[in-house]
């Protein structure tokens, strides 16, 4: 039996529709859709082995949020999908763009291409802006099975933006860095395996909230060196473990004109922060929904 169908969501009342559908599809209750203009044409036939069809369409004005993710200005260029039973695959790679994404960190001006191969869905390439620098992703796999996802590259990012995001008190820094973050999907968690960060020469000031001498003589010496450090090299090895703790094995080479007559010092520091807790504190449902609402209002 052959069929044809058309969908145009331009005039849909998404909040009312979502409320109605979530009664029978509970998973939809966690999604807030402010806007999504989707046009879709479908043609195909029902066979004994299931439906076989071609879907073609495009999307724009996508503004929505979940518990930990806000999306603003989603657009999908004209695309075509082939449906065979329970399998869906793009006829050709699909081009997507987003004005901004908020995951606790805000990413802007994103564009990418999505496809599918024999291993599953694949983000072929994506780029955008993050932390005052450039975000690049190539050959990033989906989350259908445990294993390597791909590598996220952060080029020429602003170290001051990183410190501001981390909420690190008492630290002022100037400089830029490039990072490579190999990501792994394991037991429902994203891990960072053997990531690296390489900084350009810059300047760092650390003013602790307590007197380091009251803690330990070695801590006091490190704090004194970092109080006005002009660094030549800043390198870090990065790991994100299953509990959400981010470890940075950091090496800093430089000099402090106010410390030991400005002699060169090399500091090896281990820094850690619970990134999972930090992101959760930055991406409350209320804050993400409000962010999406404001982005939508700015464009309308």
Residue 214 has a pLDDT of 65
Q: What is the CA radius of gyration of the chain?
A: 24
Asked if the structure places residue 222 within a domain, the reply is yes
Write the CA distances from 24 to 13, 35, 130, 208, 257, integer angstroms. Answer: 18, 21, 38, 54, 67
Same domain for 100 and 195: yes
* Tens digits of residue pLDDT in 3-16: 999 999 988 998 88
Task: Tell me which of 67, 92, 117 is where a domain ends.
Answer: 92
User: Same domain for 35 and 61?
Assistant: yes
Domain span at 17: 1-92
CA angle 287, 106, 183 (to 5 degrees): 115
27's tokens? 């998973």
pLDDT of 72 higher than 80: yes
Q: Tell whether 192 and 84 lie within a shared domain.
A: no
Answer yes or no: do 86 and 104 share one domain.
no
- pTM equals 0.84
Q: Is the pLDDT of residue 271 over 90?
A: no
pLDDT for 69: 82
- The more confidently predicted of residues 215 and 81 is 81
Of 53, 73, 92, the residue that ends a domain is 92
pLDDT at 220: 80
Last residue of a domain, one of 92, 119, 135: 92
Residue of 40 and 211 predicted with greater confidence: 40
What b/e readout covers 123-152, taking b as 16+ CB neighbours within 10 angstroms?
A: bbbbebebbebbbbbeebbeeeeeeebbbb
**214 & 252 share domain:** yes
Q: Are residues 72 and 129 in the same domain?
A: no
Nearest-angstrom CA–CA distance, 272 and 116: 37
Do residue 74 and residue 108 come from a single domain?
A: no
Within-domain flag for 118: yes
Q: Is 222 helix (H, G, I), strand (E, B) or coil?
A: helix
Residue 121 lies in a domain: yes
The whole-chain average pLDDT of the chain stands at 87
């Amino acid at each position: 039996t052959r069929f044809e169908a058309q969908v145009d969501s331009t005039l849909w009342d998404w909040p009312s529709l979502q409320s109605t559908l979530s009664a029978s599809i509970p998973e939809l209750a966690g999604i807030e859709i402010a806007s999504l203009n989707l046009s879709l044409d479908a043609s195909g036939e029902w066979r004994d082995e299931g439906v076989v069809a071609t879907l073609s369409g495009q999307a724009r004005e996508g503004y929505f949020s979940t518990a930990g993710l806000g999306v603003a200005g989603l657009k999908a260029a004209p695309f075509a999908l082939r449906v065979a039973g329970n399998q869906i695959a793009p006829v050709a790679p699909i081009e997507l763009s987003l004005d901004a994404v908020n995951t606790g960190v805000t990413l802007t001006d994103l564009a990418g291409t999505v496809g599918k191969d024999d291993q599953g869905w694949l983000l072929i390439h994506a780029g955008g802006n993050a932390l005052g620098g450039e975000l690049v992703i190539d050959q990033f796999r989906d989350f259908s099975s445990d294993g390597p996802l791909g590598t996220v590259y952060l080029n020429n990012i602003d170290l001051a933006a990183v410190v501001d995001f981390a909420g690190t008190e008492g630290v002022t820094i100037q400089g830029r860095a490039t990072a490579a973050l190999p990501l792994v999907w394991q037991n429902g968690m994203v891990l960072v395996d053997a990531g690296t960060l390489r900084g350009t020469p810059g300047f760092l000031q650390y003013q602790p909230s307590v007197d380091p001498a009251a803690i330990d003589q070695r801590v006091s010496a490190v704090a004194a060196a970092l109080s006005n450090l002009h660094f030549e090299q800043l390198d870090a090895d990065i790991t994100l473990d299953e509990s959400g703790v981010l470890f940075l094995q950091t090496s800093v080479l430089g000099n402090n004109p106010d410390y030991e007559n400005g002699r060169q010092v090399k500091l090896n520091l281990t820094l850690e922060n619970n990134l999972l807790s930090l992101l959760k504190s930055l991406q409350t449902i209320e804050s993400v929904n409000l962010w999406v609402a404001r982005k939508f209002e700015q464009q309308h």
